[in-house]
Structure 1
Amino acid sequence: MPSPVLLVRGFQFVELHPRFMSSIESTVEVRIRSSLDYTDLVENITNNLTFLAGCDSDPAYFIEMAVREIVINAIRHGNQYDLDKQVRISFRFDADKFEVQIQDEGKGFDFEHLPDPCDPSNLLKSSGRGIFLVRSFMDDFSLTYVPNQGTLVKFVKKLSRS
């Protein structure tokens, strides 16, 4: 089976030997329109980057799930599917951590008073767990509203090398 290769606008990322990862820091930035049609593309990019970063399967799964959840929130709630607005995703990784920043162009929201997804009245709802899950699985998580720019979500997963 060939190693995963990611092609993005002329750049090609290929597998690196793990001994080189300790000295490499990589940053990849992606911008998408506010359509759920792009979530699979972002998921594929994330999958390739977690592989390139040498993530074990559990951290890779948590990072991929977190990116998908926050990108969907940015499209749906932040930009409200407005195709004139973009979602910016920045991936940065080195030997110790995998960091993601996702920013929409929305009006922000009161993230201090989100409904508790563990409350019995919310257990059967089909949504409302994304931020809760991301906070649970990441080592660092922050939400910030940047006036006239949108909501910026940052999260970090520390990587352990086996």
Structure 2
Amino acid sequence: MSRNWQPLAHQIVIASDLQAARRVEEQLLSETQTHGYSRECTFAIRLALEEAIVNAHKHGNRKDPAKTITISYHIDQTRAIVRVRDEGQGFDPDAIPDPTVPDRIPLPTGRGIMLMRAYLDELCYNDQGNEVQLVKERS
């Protein structure tokens, strides 16, 4: 799972707070519109970004407002790359149970990573499991 990621164009560090995250999300999505991304593409980025931020806040930082979430991104005419990093211990994404298994279907949680994978062109995590990279090709 090792990644040699390059720095991205924008990096914003915010308190682990969903309201602050929404402002960054709106800024990022505004740039997708500037670059002519379709509604479907922008929707996919929004869905995945919201899920990644909620996971960072809730699971990574355990809702601790003293911790931070780092959102880095680069958007151009061909694709959007977004990274969301928390200060948590991290996790192994391969250890997350399959939410489509019959006994897990009634559960109200556990579908976020599956949704992100379905809507993105690429989804990967750093070795520690506390940073996710979202990639969406422009369409």
Question: Aligned letter for 2:25?
Answer: E
Q: Which runs of 5+ in 2 are unaligned?
A: 1-7
Question: Of 67, 72, 87, which residue of structure 2 is paired with 1:90?
Answer: 72
Question: Of 121, 133, 139, which residue of structure 2 is paired with 1:154?
Answer: 133
1:21-40 aligned within 5 A? 27-40=9-22
Question: Aligned letter for 1:44?
Answer: E
Q: Which runs of 5+ in 1 are unaligned?
A: 1-25
Structure 1 runs (4+) deviating above 4 angstroms are none
Identity %: 33
TM-score w.r.t. the length of structure 2 is 0.86
Say which one has the larger Rg.
1
Secondary structure at the counterpart of residue 121 of structure 1: coil
Q: Identify the residue that residue 102 of structure 1 maps to in structure 2.
A: 84
1:108-127 aligned within 5 A? 108-127=90-109
Specify whether residues 46 and 120 from structure 1 end up closer, same or farther in structure 2 by C-alpha distance, changes over 3 A only: farther
How far off is 1:67 after superposition? 0.4
Q: Deviations over 1:12-41 (max 9, x none)?
A: xxxxxxxxxxxxxx8332222112333432
Secondary structure at the counterpart of residue 42 of structure 2: helix
How far off is 1:123 after superposition? 1.6
Q: How many residues align?
A: 132
Question: Aligned letter for 2:29?
Answer: N
Secondary structure at the counterpart of residue 26 of structure 2: helix
Question: Aligned letter for 2:103?
Answer: S
Structure richer in strand, relative to its length: 1
